């Protein structure tokens, strides 16, 4: 059984509430952007008028009223689904475990983009699966390298049916796989008989408002898509979905039923009501604009504090929550954790995102949840921690 790192290890601020710490660690949305009065009125009505249903057990299906809310979100990135393909989850973390338990046998190998969201590796390992990294080049996941890896694993007698990826505004790098690469990836997946697990919490949070077609939209029969309301609405409702090829949906549904009996009817009804009355556009546009501003504040502060061409390399992300800093000389960034704590700033060391401790020379900064007036100060503290960690 895999025990470390835990998925919540990337969210230290949930556990440590030191007032003066500026956290660039956890991937948390900024819920000050939610229209709380409106949501409160909608929830209150749901309980008053429909409480006997909304607070009862329900069936292991996505509520009929929530289906249009999901199809609306998915269609914005070219995704296609129907109620028959949908399986409710309590967020994509649960979806990842359901996939690992339902779609592979213990001992099988899951191919994984790395660096990757640590909760994915933890879920697959909890399901008894082994992980192998997929080759990457300067443009991200490399379909030709993928083919070589699968052929090699097959020659070694290993069963490899699943590929996990987070192709849009990836956690932790912020990178997006190009539309051309996506087409080639799906061709290679078809040739090799691979099923793609597409984890897409951030796809709608592109700062220029543009989207890249999801893999699911390119080939719905070859992709198990993990969707979540955590980043476009709020994670506290613990509500997400899997959009799977119809022949796999029932196996996934059985597993989720074993996990929780049913999804939360109240959470599903809250989201369906918000979509029907208010719609997603205003909220998502608000998140995008706020995160774009914070991305700019963080990138500008990094440029003036660290300079381009110095010890650290990074790309300016075009969407999502994260900025990935890599040390040019390969220093283990864990050495900066204690100085950062002493200066009152936090980050997540890169090794958390490796499947075998790799990427220790990088670190992840999250800009979505830091108060914007404190971002420059946080970066200055980080730069001071880098100086202390280098000289010490």
Binding region for ligand PMP (CB under 6 A) = 27, 91-93, 117, 119, 166, 171, 199, 201, 228, 230, 235, 240
Residue 230 and residue 318: Cα distance in Å, rounded? 19
14 vs 41, beta carbon nearer ligand PMP = 14
Nearer to ligand PMP, 166 or 346 (CB): 166
Report, in Å, the least distance between residue 378 CB and ligand PMP: 20
Nearer to ligand PMP, 99 or 104 (CB): 99
Nearer to ligand PMP, 109 or 228 (CB): 228
Could you give the CA distance from residue 335 to residue 318 in angstroms, rounded to a whole number? Answer: 29
Is 238 or 343 the residue whose CB approaches ligand PMP more closely?
238
Sort strands 240-243 and 86-89 into parallel, antiparallel or unpaired: antiparallel
Residues found in the chain: 392
Residue (91 or 378) nearer to ligand PMP, CB: 91
Min. distance of Cβ 135 from ligand PMP in angstroms? 20
Q: Do residues 74 and 81 touch, judged by C-beta distance below 8 A?
A: yes
CA 287 to chain centre: 16
Cα–Cα distance measured from residue 220 to residue 230, given in angstroms and rounded to the nearest whole number? 23
| Contact between residue 215 and residue 59 where contact means Cβ atoms under 8 Å apart | no
Closest separation in Å from C-beta 115 to ligand PMP? 11
Write out the DSSP string of 195-256: EEEEE-SSTT-BTTS-----HHHH-TTSEEEEEESTTTT-GGG--EEEE--HHHHHHHHHHH
As measured in angstroms, the least distance from the Cβ of 195 to ligand PMP is 17
Q: Which residue is nearest to ligand PMP (CB)?
A: 91
Specify whether the CB–CB gap between 218 and 183 falls below 8 A. Answer: yes
Distance in Å, CB of 302 to ligand PMP, minimum:
22
The nearest distance, CB 321 to ligand PMP, in angstroms, is 8
């Amino acid at each position: 059984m895999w025990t470390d790192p835990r998925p919540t290890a990337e969210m230290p601020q949930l556990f440590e509430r030191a007032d003066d710490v500026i956290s660039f660690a956890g991937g948390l949305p900024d819920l000050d952007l939610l229209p709380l009065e409106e949501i409160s009125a909608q929830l209150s009505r749901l309980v008053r008028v429909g409480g006997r249903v909304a607070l009862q057990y329900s069936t292991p299906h996505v509520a009929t009223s929530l289906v249009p809310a999901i199809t609306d979100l998915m269609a914005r990135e070219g995704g296609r689904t129907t109620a028959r393909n949908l399986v409710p989850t309590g967020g994509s973390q649960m979806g990842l475990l359901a996939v690992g338990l339902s779609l592979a046998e213990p001992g099988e190998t899951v191919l994984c983009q790395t660096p990757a969201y640590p909760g994915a590796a933890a879920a697959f390992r909890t399901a008894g699966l082994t992980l192998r990294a997929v080759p990457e080049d300067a443009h991200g996941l490399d379909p030709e390298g993928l083919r070589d890896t699968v052929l090699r694993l097959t020659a070694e007698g290993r069963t490899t049916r699943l590929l996990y990826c987070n192709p849009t505004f990836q956690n932790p790098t912020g990178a997006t796989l190009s539309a051309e690469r996506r087409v080639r990836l799906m061709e290679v997946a078809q040739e090799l008989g691979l099923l793609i697990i597409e984890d897409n919490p951030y796809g709608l949070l592109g700062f220029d408002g543009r989207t890249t077609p999801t893999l699911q939209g390119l080939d719905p029969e070859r992709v198990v898509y993990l969707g979540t309301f955590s980043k476009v609405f709020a994670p506290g409702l613990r509500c997400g979905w899997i959009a799977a090829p119809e022949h796999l949906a029932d196996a996934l549904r059985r597993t989720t039923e074993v996990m929780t009996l049913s999804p939360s009817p109240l959470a599903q009804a809250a989201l369906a009501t918000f979509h029907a009355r208010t719609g997603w556009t205003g909220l998502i546009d608000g998140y995008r604009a706020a995160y774009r501003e914070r991305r700019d504040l963080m990138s500008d502060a990094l440029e003036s504090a660290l300079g381009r061409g110095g010890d650290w390399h990074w790309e300016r992300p075009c969407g999502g929550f994260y900025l990935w800093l890599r040390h040019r000389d390969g220093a283990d960034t864990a050495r900066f954790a204690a100085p950062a704590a002493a200066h009152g700033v936090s980050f997540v060391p890169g090794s958390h995102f490796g499947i075998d401790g790799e990427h220790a020379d990088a670190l992840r900064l999250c800009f979505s949840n830091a108060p914007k007036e404190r971002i420059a100060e946080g970066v200055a503290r980080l730069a001071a921690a880098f100086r202390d960690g280098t000289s010490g």
